[in-house]
């Protein structure tokens, strides 16, 4: 197996997931900023054009970052970042989906339609007029999550899960492009600091991050 890798918060999340689980795979680098993922050669492997992807030994390709993590968790169950039981897995997936719907999807779209417009306007339909509202919706989601985090070390209580990695990689990226976490959100701010200090958070940052000037 090999990871079709690049700069970006979603590829970073997969790298962080692998570091937490001590999974070592080959990485094949792709130029996200140069739209290599939109070339015919890449689209033949992953018609959706997303990065990262996971290319299996038989040539099949798995896309969608969370799906790739699900697949790797099945192959490498320990330490569990989704769960050791049906209940734990359901809890992690539930919180991850809440985070995607309320926070990360809004924050990413807000970036694409504003600060990232020049990069994305020729790759997908962009709605610049929606950017401010999407950013506000992402902040509303963070404020809601803050009320759910009292007394918790991680999103699912005392165990780190994929939900923490998804939110961290998004908020770390977003903080550098004008969508900072409100310091009044004390629970989220403390949580962010705990994740930020993990070895996987440091080592998952792509070498291109400095050149690009964004966290991914």
Q: How far apart are CA 111 and CA 173, in angstroms?
A: 10
Q: What is the pLDDT of residues 129-139, one digit of tens each?
A: 999 999 999 99
**Encoding tokens for residue 41?**
């050669």
Neighbours of 118 (CB within 10 A): 8
**Residues ≥6 apart with Cβ < 8 Å to 212:** 7, 33
81 falls within a domain = no
Computed over every residue of the chain, the mean pLDDT equals 96
143 falls within a domain = yes
Point out the domain boundary residue: 25, 43, 75.
75
Q: How many domains does the chain have?
A: 2
Triad 176, 178, 180: Cα angle to 5° = 75
Q: Where does the pLDDT of residue 33 fall: very low under 50, low under 70, confident under 90, or very high at 90 and above?
A: confident
Is residue 46 domain-shared with residue 130, that is, in the same domain?
no
Q: Where does the pLDDT of residue 211 fall: very low under 50, low under 70, confident under 90, or very high at 90 and above?
A: confident
Q: Where does the pLDDT of residue 119 fall: very low under 50, low under 70, confident under 90, or very high at 90 and above?
A: confident
Q: How far apart are CA 28 and CA 17, in angstroms?
A: 17
Q: How far apart are CA 38 and CA 68, in angstroms?
A: 20
Q: How far apart are the first and last CA of the chain?
A: 23
Q: What is the CATH number of the domain that holds 58?
A: 3.40.30.10
Is residue 36 domain-shared with residue 127, that is, in the same domain?
no
pTM given for the model: 0.95
Percent of the chain past pLDDT 70, that is, above it, reads 100
Pairing of strands 53-55, 26-29: unpaired
Is residue 179 domain-shared with residue 100, that is, in the same domain?
yes
2-5 β-sheet, strand order: 26-29, 2-5, 53-55, 61-62
User: Domain range holding 21?
Assistant: 2-75
Is residue 67 domain-shared with residue 97, that is, in the same domain?
no
216 falls within a domain = no
Q: Where does the pLDDT of residue 212 fall: very low under 50, low under 70, confident under 90, or very high at 90 and above?
A: confident
Q: What is the CATH number of the domain that holds 142?
A: 1.20.1050.10
Is residue 106 domain-shared with residue 6, that is, in the same domain?
no
Is residue 166 domain-shared with residue 107, that is, in the same domain?
yes
Is residue 103 domain-shared with residue 179, that is, in the same domain?
yes
Q: How far apart are CA 171 and CA 103, in angstroms?
A: 9
Is residue 106 domain-shared with residue 192, that is, in the same domain?
yes
26 falls within a domain = yes
8 falls within a domain = yes
Point out the domain boundary residue: 54, 75, 96.
75
Q: Is the dihedral of CA 67, 14, 31, 115 positive or negative?
A: positive
């Amino acid at each position: 197996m090999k990871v079709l890798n690049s700069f970006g918060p979603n590829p970073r999340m997969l790298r962080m997931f692998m570091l937490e689980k001590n999974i070592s795979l080959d990485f094949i680098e792709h130029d996200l900023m140069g739209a290599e993922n939109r070339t015919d050669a890449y689209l033949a492997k992953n018609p959706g054009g997303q990065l990262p992807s996971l290319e299996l030994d038989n040539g099949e390709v798995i896309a969608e970052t969370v799906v790739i993590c699900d697949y790797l968790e099945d192959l490498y169950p320990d330490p569990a970042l989704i769960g050791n039981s049906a209940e734990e897995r359901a809890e992690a997936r539930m919180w991850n989906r809440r985070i995607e719907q309320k926070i990360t999807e809004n924050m990413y779209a807000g970036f694409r339609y504003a600060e990232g417009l020049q990069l994305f306007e020729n790759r997908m339909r962009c709605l610049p007029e929606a950017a401010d509202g999407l950013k506000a919706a992402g902040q509303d989601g963070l404020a809601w999550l803050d009320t759910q985090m009292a007394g918790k070390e991680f999103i699912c209580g005392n165990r780190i899960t994929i939900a923490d990695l998804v939110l961290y990689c998004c908020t770390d990226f977003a903080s550098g492009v004008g969508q900072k976490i409100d310091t009044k959100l004390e629970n989220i701010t403390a949580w962010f600091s705990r994740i930020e200090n993990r070895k996987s958070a440091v080592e998952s940052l792509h070498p291109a991050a400095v050149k690009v000037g964004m966290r991914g």
